[in-house]
Amino acid sequence: MIIAKKWLIVGLLSLSLMSCKKTPEIILTPLEEKLASMSLDEKLGQMIQAERYAVTTATINELNLGSILSGGGSHPTPNTVEAWLALTTKMNNAAKNGSAGLPLIYGVDAVHGHNNVEGLVLFPHNSALGATHDEELLERIGKAVGVQLRATGISWNFAPCLAVVQDIRWGRAYEGFSEEPNLVASLGSAYIKGLQSEGIMATAKHYLADGGTDFDSSKNSYPIDQGNVSLTEAEIRALHLVPYIKAIQDAKVKSIMVSFSSINNQKMHGSTYWITTILKEELKFDGIVISDWEAIHQLPGSLIYQVSSAINAGVDMLMEPNKYKDVLAVMKRAVENGTIKMERIDDAVMRILKVKDDLKLSTGLASATIDMENDKALAREAVAKSQVLLKNEGVLPLAKNTDILLIGPGIDNVGYQAGGWSFSWQGEKGNEHFPNATTLLEAFTAIAQANGAHIYTQLKDASKADVVVMVLTENPYAEGIGDTKTLSLTSGLAHPDNAETIRQAKLIKKPIVTLLMSGRPLIVEDEIEYWDAFVMSWLFGTEAQGVTDVLYGDVNFSGTLSFTWPKISEANTTSSMNPDRNADDIQFEIGSGLTY
């Protein structure tokens, strides 16, 4: 009994001493404190991105919206740098004055320059830049685009596209650098580094395997855009995941956009495995995962099921340009009924808060002034380095006193030089919206006038010319519209005037230099024998002097193909990544390109 009392006394003393010890203080980081202070409505507002045209400053303020975007062709009036800055500043101030007190992230698709703004320099599209194989150049272009964006108050660029393009019939093929994953990885990461060095958030898109969607051979039709990828996980990892690994681990990309497409018939926006298990857990991606334009509505079921499926799969921010109020309402219902756990909401919002803190948005973007002359010089350099000489029977380089007959639909048309995502989503025809650009006609004429030569554009003057320069083009296009089942020079999405231009050139009986301005290789098998020189000029943007720099020999050709050039329209069978391809179906191998 005495022993029992002794142990009782000891136990009571121990309890007394324990009660005197202080509970360890939990120290929260400033971002954790901010998250803890936010209401559910404030958190959900941060997870929404709405379109500029669909909101007011009052809406932004009231709903605490986390982000605004301008889609392709969406711009203020007037469409000037100053008007853009005024717009983004006004919207950002409205956000910061909301109850959450958080700044906006404003996003655009500046896929080859700040292409929504009239008059700015446009760089070559990615399929052209792939031909440069030049990481240092890509990093400088990323920095230049970053300055363009900062000058207009934009903090988020939905670029670069890291598609490893296996079928150039896909309408977004020109947004990809190559069919070869390591080249896509190196160039994409270099661009991300340049862009983010200017305080702009880059976006690796479209996750995952958007460049590997199937062609529906049973229907001989499309779309392959937003289609299905029929590959094993090992094949996807070896081919399509490679650029994302480098973007995350080397370039530290801050956002990733999910693809409209599916893998083995599961929509990517609902794939917990690829978004959470692989991207966030295995690859340790700690930035924002954003949906594509209204893409969650392609998931099955009701709106609340679509929203819940995407968020539970790991999507942190929903790009809802028009339906954002409806989406916000069902997000709240889903949290309140337990369909979406609060932990998932907090994870998404913390990622958004972290990015906003990293970008220092609370103090505003650092001011920037666009250097037009620097941008023009850089774009001109990129154009020259991207030109690929595929045939030359001694006609190039051109002497500067050569009299030239310049013909074809692309000779005096910036819209065709630039392609899609140029001023508007699907691109423009003509020069109206590109007041500071240089066309091929202007570039040739400047050299001719300085050297006593003439540039003729009328067939009646053919006899006066020493050489014919024929410029063939595709019509401008972007996703969806750009899908095609034929890669013909004279049908499908090729310019309708190409056929007559080719016919006329043959009749002239002069040496022919052919330039092809397109986002992808087209079938030249039946015509190339009639050409004395053939140059792939790609969609090179606003600075045509880069083309004449190499044609006249001021700069040597250095570009080489980053895509296999097929002889057939079934281009997916000729990719260098296809072990079963037939060599007889290939016009030029990847890596082809001549020099002087």
Q: What is the DSSP string of 130-167?
A: HTTT-HHHHHHHHHHHHHHHHHTT--EE---B--B-S-
Residues 334 and 452 in one domain: no
* Residue type for position 391: K
Length of the chain: 596
Residues 290 and 346 in one domain: yes
3 state SS of 216:
strand
Give the range of the structural domain holding residue 391, as residue numbers without chain letter. Answer: 374-588
Residues 328 and 477 in one domain: no
Predicted confidence (pLDDT) at residue 364 exceeds the cutoff of 90: no
Closest CA to 131 of 463, 389, 377, 324: 389
Residues 343 and 409 in one domain: no
Predicted confidence (pLDDT) at residue 216 exceeds the cutoff of 80: no
Mean pLDDT of 195-217: 94
Residues 265 and 396 in one domain: no
Q: Please state at what angle helix 30-37 crosses helix 342-358, rounded to 10 degrees.
A: 130
3 state SS of 392:
strand
Residues 551 and 577 in one domain: yes
Q: Is residue 187 part of a domain?
A: yes
Predicted confidence (pLDDT) at residue 3 exceeds the cutoff of 60: no
Q: Is residue 87 part of a domain?
A: yes
Which residues make beta-bridge pairs with 262?
Answer: 228, 267
CA pair distance 505, 489, nearest whole angstrom: 15
Q: What percentage of the chain exceeds 90 in pLDDT?
A: 92
3 state SS of 315:
coil
Predicted confidence (pLDDT) at residue 139 exceeds the cutoff of 50: yes
Q: β-strands 203-207, 255-258: how paired?
A: parallel
> How confident is the model over 292-308, as pLDDT tens digits?
999 999 999 999 999 99
Residues contacting residue 389 through CB under 8 Å, at least 6 positions apart: 396, 533, 534, 535, 550, 557, 559, 593, 594, 595
Residue written as tokens 């968020």? 311
Q: In what order do the strands lie in the sheet with 455-456?
A: 388-392, 533-536, 512-517, 467-473, 404-407, 455-456
Whichever domain contains 506, its CATH number is 3.40.50.1700
Q: What is the pLDDT of residue 22?
A: 57
Burial category of 494 from C-beta neighbours within 10 Å (exposed 0-12, middle 13-18, buried 19 and up)? buried
Q: Is residue 369 part of a domain?
A: no
Residues 456 and 340 in one domain: no
CA pair distance 566, 583, nearest whole angstrom: 9
How much is the mean pLDDT over the chain?
A: 95
Q: What is the pLDDT of residue 222?
A: 53
Closest CA to 224 of 234, 214, 232: 214
CA pair distance 341, 40, nearest whole angstrom: 12
Predicted confidence (pLDDT) at residue 365 exceeds the cutoff of 90: no
Q: Is residue 394 part of a domain?
A: yes
> How confident is the model over 323-337, as pLDDT tens digits?
999 999 999 999 999
Cβ 543 vs Cβ 375: under 8 Å: no
> How confident is the model over 221-258, as pLDDT tens digits?
555 899 999 999 999 999 999 999 999 999 999 999 99
Q: Is residue 3 part of a domain?
A: no
Predicted confidence (pLDDT) at residue 41 exceeds the cutoff of 70: yes
Number of Cβ within 10 Å of residue 357's Cβ equals 14
Q: Is residue 9 part of a domain?
A: no
Residues 66 and 86 in one domain: yes
Residues 348 and 401 in one domain: no
Mean pLDDT of 184-194: 99
Mean pLDDT of 304-317: 99
Q: Which of 363, 394, 416 is the last residue of a domain?
A: 363
Predicted confidence (pLDDT) at residue 11 exceeds the cutoff of 80: no
Give catalytic residues, as residue numbers.
292, 479
- Angstrom CA distances, 494 to 25, 474, 497, 506, stand at 69, 4, 9, 19
Whichever domain contains 323, its CATH number is 3.20.20.300
Q: Which of 335, 363, 391 is the last residue of a domain?
A: 363
- Specify the number of domains making up the chain: 2
Mean pLDDT of 509-535: 98
Q: What is the pLDDT of residue 99?
A: 98
3 state SS of 364:
coil
Predicted confidence (pLDDT) at residue 16 exceeds the cutoff of 60: no
Q: What is the pLDDT of residue 19?
A: 45
Indicate the pLDDT class of residue 1, thresholds 50, 70 and 90: very low
Buried b (16+ CB within 10 A) or exposed e, 556-567: ebbbbbbbbbbb
Q: What is the pLDDT of residue 102?
A: 98
Q: Is residue 59 part of a domain?
A: yes
3 state SS of 374:
helix
Q: What is the pLDDT of residue 215?
A: 85
Q: Which of 305, 338, 363 is the last residue of a domain?
A: 363
Give first-to-last CA distance, the chain, whole Å. Answer: 107
Which residues make beta-bridge pairs with 266?
Answer: 263
Q: What is the pLDDT of residue 366?
A: 85
DSSP letter, residue 116? T
Worst-scoring range by mean pLDDT, 41-45, 364-368, 438-442?
A: 364-368
Mean pLDDT of 458-467: 98
Give one word for 424, left, alpha or beta, with left for phi > 0 and alpha for psi -120 to 50: beta
Residues 127 and 223 in one domain: yes
Residues 305 and 391 in one domain: no
Residues 390 and 341 in one domain: no
Give DSSP secondary structure letters for 512-566.
EEEEEE-SS--B-TTTGGG-SEEEE--S--SBTHHHHHHHTTSS------SS-EE
Cβ 334 vs Cβ 308: under 8 Å: yes
Q: For the chain, what is the radius of gyration of the CA atoms?
A: 28
Number of Cβ within 10 Å of residue 392's Cβ equals 18
Predicted confidence (pLDDT) at residue 458 exceeds the cutoff of 90: yes
Predicted confidence (pLDDT) at residue 4 exceeds the cutoff of 80: no
Cβ 113 vs Cβ 437: under 8 Å: no
Q: Is residue 551 part of a domain?
A: yes
